[in-house]
Amino acid sequence: MKYLSPLTRRSGLVPFSADPFQDFEKEFEKLFGGWPSLFEHDGSFFTADNRRSAVANWYENDEAYVARFELPGLKSKDIDLELKDGTLSLKAERKTRNKKEKSEATVSYSQSISLPDGVNEADASASYEDGILSVTIPKAEKAKPRRIAIK
Amino acid sequence: MTLLNILNKKPTTDVAASDSASEVQERFVRPRYRIVDTEDVYTIDVDVPGVSKAGVDITLEDGVLEIQARRSWQTPEGWSSFNRDEAGLVYRLRLAIGDGINDEGIKAEVEDGVLQLTLPKAEALKPRKISVN
């Protein structure tokens, strides 16, 4: 549905939700809203492909852009983040903690995002907590809103 | 690693708290999860990024295990979201577990946005070796 909605302010600059299946899963859940049995299947039958994009929630304030990536089950050392020439690149590998050897799997996250103009790449920072990678990219001085006094 | 209490009844306090806190509307999302079936236990990993120990409620009623995991995120003042605002996001998963589980032994812990549940199998379900005389 989001494709039909009016463009948001920054839609040209930053991609929408990176997971195309997210809405679909939601719809599916609505249609077949029964409770899955513990004994029938696991929740991953739509996502047999082990390459994913992390869902990102983007925020903005006067000082910075903030992206919060959903990356559950990682350690910060497993996340490779690079910011170069206006592009933010994210790579991460997650080993699922399954106890059976044969069902152990690796999920790879990989994505590149073009950043808007007017950011201060050198001062970007990132932190990882509770499965969320939070990247803060300060705005360059010229991109900050400025109040102009009227004389 | 934090150990959680498993409640057999729905907590009422949390509901009241979220009512008073809120213009924020709760949105329910079904999380990804994986189940591993080993000899003695089922292990369920549920992806709940952004959820800490305090945000998890687990109830077991009439053979249905219900997991609700709330993100603690609140959009700070002066911030605007420009794709999705995650405030009010609640992961909810219900699993029919019937009689096959030893209720008393259920354990849960949250680490790095993953909720790991351990459900011990009821004695009747465990494989048993019968010796032949």
Q: State pLDDT tens for residues A124-138.
A: 999 999 999 999 999
Query: Residue A114: which CATH number?
Result: 2.60.40.790
Report the predicted TM-score, pTM, of the whole model to 2 decimal places. 0.70
**Local structure of residue B7 (DSSP, 8 states):** B
Q: How far apart are CA A121 and CA A124, in angstroms?
A: 5
Q: How far apart are CA B90 and CA B99, in angstroms?
A: 27
- Domain spanning B28-74+86-124: which CATH class is it, in words? mainly beta
Q: What is the pLDDT along chain B (133 residues), one digit of tens a residue?
A: 445 555 444 444 444 444 444 467 888 999 988 888 888 888 899 999 999 999 999 998 888 899 999 998 888 999 998 887 788 899 999 998 878 888 889 999 999 999 999 999 888 767 777 888 7
Structural domain count of chain A: 1
- Put simply, whether A27 touches B (Cβ < 8 Å) is no
* Any domain includes A151: no
* Any domain includes A15: no
**DSSP codes of every residue in A36-62:** PBTTT--TTTT----EE---EEEEE-S
Q: Is the ipTM of this complex over 0.90?
A: no
How is residue B121 written in tokens? 């199998």
pLDDT above 80 for A105: no
**Domain range for residue A117?**
21-34+41-142
* Any domain includes A8: no
How is residue A76 written in tokens? 């910060």
Q: Which one, of B61, B60, B78, B77, lies nearest residue B4 by Cα? A: B60
Please judge whether A57 and B81 are an interchain contact, meaning their C-beta atoms are less than 8 angstroms apart: yes
- Put simply, whether A106 touches B (Cβ < 8 Å) is no
- Put simply, whether A47 touches B (Cβ < 8 Å) is yes
